[in-house]
Amino acid sequence: MYILSTVYGFMKWLRKKSSLDQKLKQSEERYRTLFDSIMDAVFIVDLNGRFLDVNPYACEHLGYSKEELLAMSLGDVDAPEYTAMIRDRIQELTKRGSFQFETKHVIKDGRVVSVEVRGGVFDYWGVPAIVSIARNIEDRYRNLNSLKTAHEEVTYLLNAITSILIGVSRQDVITHWNYMAEETFGIPASEAVGMKILSFSIKWDWDEICLGIATCTSEKRPVSLSDIKYIDADGKNGILGISITPIKNDKNELSGFLIYGRDVTDKRVMEQQLLQTSKLATVGEIATGVAHELNQPLNVIKIASQYMLDAIQQKYYTEDFMRERLEKIVAQVDRAAVIIAHLKDFGRKSDYNFRKIDPNKPILSAFDLVGEQLRVRSIRVILDLDPHLPQIQADGQKLEQVFINLIVNAKDSFEEMKNSLHDNTIRVRSFPMPGSGMIGIEFSDSGPGIPRGIINRVFEPFFTTKEVGKGTGLGLSISYGIIKSHRGTIDVASEGEGTTFKIALPAVRE
């Protein structure tokens, strides 16, 4: 009985051991499958750094076979400059239990690659060992270096731009601030980047800038702002041409905007000089007509004065007689003063002075100045001006100069024809342009027209078909610039005889 019991117990132990062996084998197979399938290099090393086991990816990573690696240690694959650090890390590891750091591995073919290593201490079949998982981060470094290089190139390009360039996020935080912005406003990029755009007391027209930003971000389109006055870091006044451009991400969503500012101070000074030159030339053109206009009140003054002298000498004057003559003299002096003041104001050098005006007013003022010249040359004027036009935001004197230039050009074209029987007519029409928010002005003449080969050049500076000494070639160029400054357009058409200039100007929105 005792023997049977012993045999039964032994058989039971054998079955239990067989079951444990099978479970252990299954566990080892799962471990090996997991170990071999990891897509990072996995090393198991003893506390002296010798390899105890490696996975297939470790062999692929280092270029050695498994048998070669099991005969090596960490010191054989780590870059020499990292050997001492690795040895120290292993010593620390036994105290802390885990680690993560970056090092370099030397591949079998001599290449050196950067890796990120992490791992810890564990029991390897009853022996303390270290499991180390190494991930190749060469692509990461390569991408970081590419990003760094790209950032340096972008920074260099931004700083090489000789205009102000400011990048702003959707939250109004400054992301870019180039060298020219630093120089202009006296604020270094280190202080500007990361701050709110409105946190700086930049001395420029904030009302216009903020309106431009609001329009850009709400309508998601570029906005141009002309003649933004500013004061630079040295306290000097200047003028900027500003463009605000939306920035969109890969989902076509607004992520910010760019403020590009170009200093146009010198350009505006040059334009003012050209404008003044053109004005003086125009004054010369209308001098004869103005002299005739002044002759009339002077003649009236002379006659009235002579009557008064005769009445005093012959003692037949009365109080009513003297008052009537003196009132005529005063009225004619006032008329002459108006003509002189108009001519003086027209010739004066001035900046743009925009205000709400009736668009017909500068047209009528232009014909007041040169009307006598047209009358003595039998040039008929037909004005078809809509009295109910909306107002425009404009500089009346500048627009007056445009119309005087057109009148003078038409007059000169009639003189070139040298045909006394030709019907010389200037027709001006003003009208609303429904649906566009603009008012239109058409200035037509019955002259010889403009040849097709040169019509595209009439707005070029110094281009003229007149004889030497009879024109500067600035009139139409200046007129084009004035209309553009009013945010309008001017075009020319000429088919056979006659020329028509078409002007469009934005009406004031109520």
Q: Is 506 helix (H, G, I), strand (E, B) or coil?
A: strand
Q: Both 181 and 324 in a single domain?
A: no
Residue at 145 is within a domain: no
Residue 19 lies in a domain: no
In a domain, 5, yes or no: no
Cα separations (Å) of 206 from 44, 199, 249, 385? 66, 12, 27, 38
Buried b (16+ CB within 10 A) or exposed e, 343-366: beebeeeeeeeeeebbbbbbbebb
Q: How far is CA 327 from CA 305, 332, 333, 498, in A?
A: 11, 9, 10, 46
Tokens read off for 210:
């903020």
Burial class (CB in 10 A: 0-12, 13-18, 19+), 297: buried
What confidence tens digit (pLDDT) does each residue in 100-137 have? 888 888 899 988 888 888 888 888 877 888 888 888 88
CB count in 10 Å sphere of residue 477:
21
CATH code of the domain containing 100: 3.30.450.20
Pair 55, 171 in one domain = no
The pLDDT tens digits of the residues spanning 282-299 come to 555 555 555 655 666 777
306 and 224 in a common domain: no
Residue 281: count of CB within 10 angstroms of its CB: 17
Residue 100 sits in the same domain as residue 174: no
Q: How many domains does the chain have?
A: 3
Query: Per the domain annotation, does 420 fall within a domain?
Result: yes
CA 356 to chain centre: 28
151 pLDDT exceeds 60? yes
Inter-residue contact 178 to 259 (CB < 8 Å): no
Decide if 426 contacts 444 (C-beta within 8 A). Answer: yes
- Are 233 and 209 within one domain? yes
Residue 441 pLDDT: 94
Determine, yes or no, domain membership for 24.
no
Cβ atoms of residues 75 and 82 within 8 Å: no
Report the alpha-carbon angle 148-151-152, nearest 5.
85
The answer to whether residues 326 and 398 belong to one domain is yes
What is the pLDDT, as a whole number, of residue 152? Answer: 66
249 plus 338 within the same structural domain:
no
Whether the pLDDT of residue 433 is over 80: the answer is yes
> Could you tell me the two tokens for 241?
């041409």
Using an 8 Å Cβ cutoff, are 475 and 280 in contact?
no
- How far, in Å, CA of 361 to CA of 400, rounded? 8
Residue positions counted in the chain: 510
- pLDDT value, residue 23: 63
pLDDT-above-90 percentage for the chain: 10
Residues 192 and 121 in one domain: no
87 domain residue, yes or no = yes
- The pLDDT of residue 358 is 94
Q: 319-347 and 361-376 helices cross at what angle (nearest 10)?
A: 110
pLDDT at 431 over 90: yes
pLDDT band at 506 (very low <50, low <70, confident <90, very high): very high
CATH number at residue 370: 3.30.565.10
* Torsion angle, alpha carbons of 148, 149, 155, 160, to 10: 170
Same domain as 72, residue 96: yes
- Which residue, 406, 284, 397, 285, is CA-closest to 350? 397
Is the CB of residue 51 less than 8 Å from the CB of residue 73? yes
Per-residue pLDDT band for 5 (boundaries 50, 70, 90) equals very low
Find out whether 173 and 259 touch, Cβ atoms under 8 Å: no
Number of H helices, E strands in the chain: 14, 17
Domain membership of residue 500 (yes or no) is yes
Pairing of the two strands 164-169 and 223-231: unpaired
Report the chain's mean pLDDT, rounded to a whole number: 78
Q: Are residues 161 and 84 in the same domain?
A: no
HSE-CB of 288 using CA atoms within 13 angstroms: 8
Last residue of some domain: 263, 295, 321?
263
Tell me the pLDDT band of 276, cut-offs 50, 70 and 90: low
Choose one of 202, 228, 263: the last residue of a domain: 263
Residue where a domain stops, chosen among 247, 263, 279? 263
Which residues have a Cβ under 8 Å from the Cβ of 118 and sit 6 or more positions away? 98, 99, 100, 101, 132, 133
Q: Which of 437, 444, 418, 436 is nearest to 502 (CA)?
A: 444
313-335 pLDDT tens trace: 877 777 777 787 787 777 777 76
pLDDT at 505: 94
Q: Which domain holds residue 242?
A: 151-263
Asked if 328 and 363 count as a contact pair (C-beta separation under 8 A), the reply is: no
> Is pLDDT at 4 greater than 90 in this prediction?
no
- Looking at the domain assignment, is residue 20 inside a domain? no
Let me know whether 93 and 124 are in one domain.
Answer: yes
| 104 & 236 share domain | no
pLDDT digits (tens, 9 = 90+) for 9-23: 545 545 555 555 566
